[in-house]
Homo-oligomer: A and B are copies of this chain.
Amino acid sequence: MSENQDLQKSFLETVKFDDKGLVPAIVQDFETGKVLMMAWMNRQSLEMTLEKKKACYWSRSRQKLWLKGESSGNMQNVHDILIDCDGDTLLLKVSQTGGACHMGYQSCFYRKTKDDLSMEICDTLMFNPEDVYGKQS
């Protein structure tokens, strides 16, 4: 048995962070199974998530801890955290307040590829981003 599959190890020992100290976290609605987003965690944001049961990420663009919903109010209550066979990807099952996407959709995956490789909207708008984040100049 590879060390990554050892059930005797604790969860935190099993997580493999990449060369930037990050691990991707897929976020799925606890009830509907809809995939809402993917974000990145460093060890500190993962520990905060475990402690508070609210999803907390590492913002790669802003280079800071990011408690999901701190600006928008659209928090994610974390029910379960799963880890994959290689230990290098997490799956969070959450209850999402409002929409997950900063574009106002329920899911960040709101565009689907069509046969001609154009895209179409395939999700529901939950809020107007300007109402939540203010007008972008």
Contact = CB atoms under 8 A, between A and B. Distances in A.
A28 interface: yes
A112 interface: yes
A126 to B, nearest CB: 13
Contacts of A24: 24, 38
B112 A82 contact: yes
Interface residues of A, number: 42
Nearest to A29: B33
A83 B113 contact: yes
Given A33-B32, A33-B34, A82 B122 contact: yes
A11 interface: yes
Contacts of A121: 7
Contacts of A117: 10-12, 50
Contacts of A101: 85
